[in-house]
Amino acid sequence: MNPDRLVIALANRKGGTGKTTTAVNLSAEWGNQGYRTLLIDLDTQGHAAIGVGCRETRQLSGAVHQLYQNPELSLMEIVQPTVLENVWLAPADTDFQQQELNVHRLRSAIEKIDPDEQFQRIVIDTPPTLDGLLISGLVAAQGVVVPFVPHHLAEVGTRQLAKLFYQVSSRHNPDLKLLGLLPIMYDRHIKLHQRVVSGIEKQFGKDRMLRGIRNNIKVAEAFEKGLPICTYAPRSAGNMDYHLMALELESFLVLDRG
């Protein structure tokens, strides 16, 4: 992998964890910091396109899933500009039918990007299902962030993802790092949230628990409007949380690379 490029996958085997919202807002944060950033949507629901202002995914000229069907296709042939500064999108194909696929295909496509078109940050939004697309996203990544909502089933979902993480790192991507676990819609005053976060910290280590994203309606409103929270409500608690999370993640990346 290019040492000047960081590739991060957002992953959780459970749906409804704020994975796509986090992928959009992390991409926007890095774009605001001046990094040329690519958001890759492997989830066939295609919701990442909505979060960056592309309301109709069918109007887009290409989709990242075509890489698995056409070995000659380059990633840059399907990358689209977005309304966000310094952020591009490799959109999903919402009609893609799961099939046997080369799990190394995305990694290879990223590595073949021309140096003149290189991205400094790449964020991969993976599907919540256990399939080749999720594995392919982990194979392509240098690090994984696991968003979770601190409810009863959160520990089950994180354990399932951890098992897959170790399988991928042992078989396909030995340099893959678990960068952090991210509580979403987190309220530290709720005892259930405290218990769940504490249990996950015991499992993975307190040093891998990222700053939580508080429950803030502005985050959902921003996504619906096709904007990141930093643009829609820059003074909101949600924007502060995502900004601080991005900075914290950068420090984790420096340590893991150092």
pLDDT of residue 254: 62
Percentage of the chain modeled with pLDDT above 90: 70
Distance CA 190, CA 196 (A): 10
- Residue 220 burial (10 A CB sphere; 0-12, 13-18, 19+): middle
> The domain that contains 205 carries what CATH number?
3.40.50.300
What is the average per-residue pLDDT within 86-114?
A: 92
Share of the chain above pLDDT 70, in %: 93
**Any domain includes 186:** yes
d(C-alpha 6, C-alpha 157), whole Å: 25
Domain that holds residue 66: 6-257
Amino acid at 101: L
Res 99: pLDDT: 77
Asked, for residue 1, whether it belongs to a domain, the answer is no
Average pLDDT score, the chain? 90
Cα separations (Å) of 192 from 59, 61, 152, 182?
43, 45, 8, 16
pTM value?
0.94
Q: How far apart are CA 193 and CA 213, in angstroms?
A: 12
Q: How many CB atoms lie within 10 A of CB 213?
A: 26
| Cβ-based burial of 228 (10 A; exposed 0-12, middle 13-18, buried ≥19) | buried
| Structural domain includes residue 28 | yes
Tell whether 212 is covered by a domain: yes
Q: Which pLDDT score, from 0 to 100, does residue 201 have?
A: 93
Q: Does any domain span residue 161?
A: yes
Contact 204, 181 (CB under 8 A): yes
Q: Is residue 182 part of a domain?
A: yes
Segment among 34-48, 89-103, 230-244 with least mean pLDDT: 89-103
Query: How many structural domains are present in the chain?
Result: 1
Neighbours of 211 (CB within 10 A): 19
* Residue 250 maps to a domain: yes
Task: Give 56's pLDDT tier (boundaries 50, 70, 90).
Answer: low
